[in-house]
């Protein structure tokens, strides 16, 4: 594939960019030898391409992955609760970052060699090549900048998640305990297939962090205050009193949402989506339980609504938090 495109492009260049052609003049005549070079080059290139495509399945494009990551980052920043961790997506992103870093390292080494070689050989040629060299540096520059940008999103995303893990430490612990007791009750009902809620919610590193943070927190509370109290006042997850001790996410927090519609873009295939003709609009209907008030969430519009009402739509990627 890449072979054909390159050749076509090379053809095009010959006709259109006369200016830069002239500087290429001396190398032009050896057309035959060039073709040989091409074929050998393309051979290696297709191999490289084959490898990269096998790593990234066809349907998943890096571009979409990055956009998805940015959306997840924004959602995480705006939502009151800890959202599920995108295990697959994150793995792909990290692999890609690693690959790109390696690629860049090789590139910059090439540049280093080139510049030292060029300096020792004919000086006149080197001067004429100076601007071209600068142009050659550009992709490297951009790729490095891009890498930093991707890293920034990931870093900010993880930081935001960690702050929530800190905040809802006890709550998350409770979810897990609930799950474990349920599991005990159900006993031998295909236990192995069940995944704990924490494992979908957090990465293994985050779970580890959560456990350590929790034990540190518990230790601190015990050592500083709780051990001096009477036994019945030592609980840290007392929900009986006037104030709940467990910090739960504020499920009814108001959030800004943008209605996207079904991710596939096929409005007519989404059972939740209501289609009204007069005036023509697609919307999701949600109801505020206390007042029984219906709200129409029209696709493409921006609303401020309670998080609880749109939680499920958010998990299906039908809306975004902004």
CB closer to other proteins, 159 vs 275: 159
- Shortest distance in whole angstroms from residue 312 CB to other proteins: 16
Question: 160 and 81 in contact (C-beta within 8 Å)?
Answer: no
Tokens matching residue 13: 């260049």
- What one-character-per-residue DSSP string does 126-186 give? HHHHHHHHHHHHHHHHHHHHHHHHHHHHHHHHHHHHHHHHHHTHHHHHHHHHHHHHHHHHH
CB closer to other proteins, 317 vs 320: 320
Instruction: List binders of other proteins among 212-271 (CB under 8 A).
Output: 250, 252-256
Show the beta-strand stretches assigned E in the chain: 254-259, 273-277, 280-288, 293-298, 302-306, 319-321
Question: 192 and 155 in contact (C-beta within 8 Å)?
Answer: no
**Choice from 302, 312, 315, 316 touching other proteins (CB under 8 A):** 302
CB closer to other proteins, 305 vs 314: 305
Determine, following the binding rule CB under 8 A, whether residue 13 of this chain makes contact with other proteins. yes
Task: Report the b/e string of 187-206 with b at 16+ CB within 10 A.
Answer: eeeeeeeeeeebbebbbeeb
Instruction: List binders of other proteins among 182-201 (CB under 8 A).
Output: none
Q: What is the dihedral sign for C-alpha 147, 150, 153, 156?
A: negative
**Choice from 72, 82, 150, 198 touching other proteins (CB under 8 A):** 150
Determine, following the binding rule CB under 8 A, whether residue 9 of this chain makes contact with other proteins. yes
**Choice from 59, 122, 145, 184 touching other proteins (CB under 8 A):** 145
CB closer to other proteins, 213 vs 222: 213
CB closer to other proteins, 147 vs 246: 147
**Choice from 75, 96, 176, 202 touching other proteins (CB under 8 A):** 96
Determine, following the binding rule CB under 8 A, whether residue 275 of this chain makes contact with other proteins. no
Determine, following the binding rule CB under 8 A, whether residue 60 of this chain makes contact with other proteins. no
CB closer to other proteins, 167 vs 226: 167
The DSSP bridge pattern shows strands 319-321 and 280-288 to be unpaired
Ramachandran bin of 292, using left for φ above 0, alpha for ψ from -120 to 50, beta for the remaining angles: left
Rounded alpha-carbon distances, angstroms, from residue 288 to 256, 279, 304: 16, 24, 13
Instruction: List binders of other proteins among 36-55 (CB under 8 A).
Output: 37-38, 41, 44-45, 48
CB closer to other proteins, 106 vs 180: 106
- Shortest distance in whole angstroms from residue 109 CB to other proteins: 10
Determine, following the binding rule CB under 8 A, whether residue 301 of this chain makes contact with other proteins. yes
Determine, following the binding rule CB under 8 A, whether residue 163 of this chain makes contact with other proteins. yes
Determine, following the binding rule CB under 8 A, whether residue 136 of this chain makes contact with other proteins. yes
- The DSSP letter of residue 318 is S
- Shortest distance in whole angstroms from residue 91 CB to other proteins: 14
Cis peptide before 213 (omega within 30 of 0): no
């Amino acid at each position: 594939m890449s072979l054909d495109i390159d050749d076509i492009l090379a053809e095009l260049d010959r006709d259109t960019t006369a200016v830069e052609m002239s500087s290429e003049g001396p190398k032009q005549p050896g057309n035959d030898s060039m073709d040989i070079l091409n074929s050998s080059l393309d051979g290696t290139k297709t191999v490289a391409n084959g490898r990269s495509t096998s790593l990234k399945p066809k349907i998943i494009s890096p571009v979409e992955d990055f956009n998805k990551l940015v959306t997840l980052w924004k959602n995480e920043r705006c939502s009151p609760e800890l959202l599920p961790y995108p295990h697959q997506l994150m793995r792909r992103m990290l692999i890609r970052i690693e690959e790109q870093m390696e690629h860049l390292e090789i590139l910059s080494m090439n540049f280093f060699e080139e510049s030292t070689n060029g300096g020792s050989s004919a000086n006149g040629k080197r001067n004429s090549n100076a601007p071209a060299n600068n142009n050659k540096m550009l992709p490297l520059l951009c790729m490095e900048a891009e890498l930093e940008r991707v890293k920034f999103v990931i870093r900010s995303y993880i930081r935001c998640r960690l702050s929530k893990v800190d905040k809802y430490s006890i709550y998350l612990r409770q979810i897990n305990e609930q799950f474990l007791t349920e599991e005990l009750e159900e006993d031998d009902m295909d236990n192995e297939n069940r995944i704990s809620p924490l494992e979908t919610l957090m990465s293994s590193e985050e779970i580890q962090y959560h456990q350590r943070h929790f034990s540190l927190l518990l230790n601190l509370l015990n050592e500083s205050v709780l051990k001096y109290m009477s036994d019945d006042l030592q609980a840290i997850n007392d929900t009986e009193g006037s104030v709940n001790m467990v910090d739960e996410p504020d499920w009814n927090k108001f959030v800004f949402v943008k209605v996207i519609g079904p991710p596939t873009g096929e409005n007519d295939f989404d059972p939740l989506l209501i289609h009204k003709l007069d005036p023509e609009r697609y919307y999701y209907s949600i109801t505020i339980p206390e007042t029984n008030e219906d709200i129409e969430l029209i696709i493409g519009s921006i609303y401020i609504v309670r998080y609880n009402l749109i939680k499920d739509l958010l998990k299906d990627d039908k809306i975004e938090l902004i």
